[in-house]
Amino acid sequence: MILAVPAAVLVGGMGLRDLIAPVRLAADQSGITVVHGFAGKRHVPWEAIRDIKVDVSRRWGRRSEILEIDTGDNLHMFSRHDLDAPPTEVAAALRRRGT
Q: For residue range 57-78, what is the model confidence (pLDDT) as tens digits? A: 898 888 899 999 998 888 899 8
Evaluate whether residue 9 is within a structural domain: no
Other Cβ atoms closer than 10 A to 36: 14
Q: Is residue 76 part of a domain?
A: yes
Indicate whether 75 belongs to any domain. Answer: yes
18 lies in some domain: no
Pseudo-torsion of CA 42, 43, 46, 49, nearest 10°? -10
Q: Is the pLDDT at 92 greater than 90, yes or no?
A: yes
SS3 for the chain is CCCHHHHHHHHHHHHHHHHHCCCCEEECCCEEEEEECCCEEEEEEHHHCCEEEEEEEEECCEEEEEEEEECCCCEEEEEHHHHCCCHHHHHHHHHHHHC
- Number of structural domains the chain divides into: 1
Evaluate whether residue 3 is within a structural domain.
no
Q: Supply the pTM of this predicted model.
A: 0.73
- Residue 86 is assigned to a structural domain of this protein: yes
| CA gyration radius, the chain | 15
Q: Which residue range is the domain that position 86 belongs to?
A: 24-98
Residue 14 lies in a domain: no
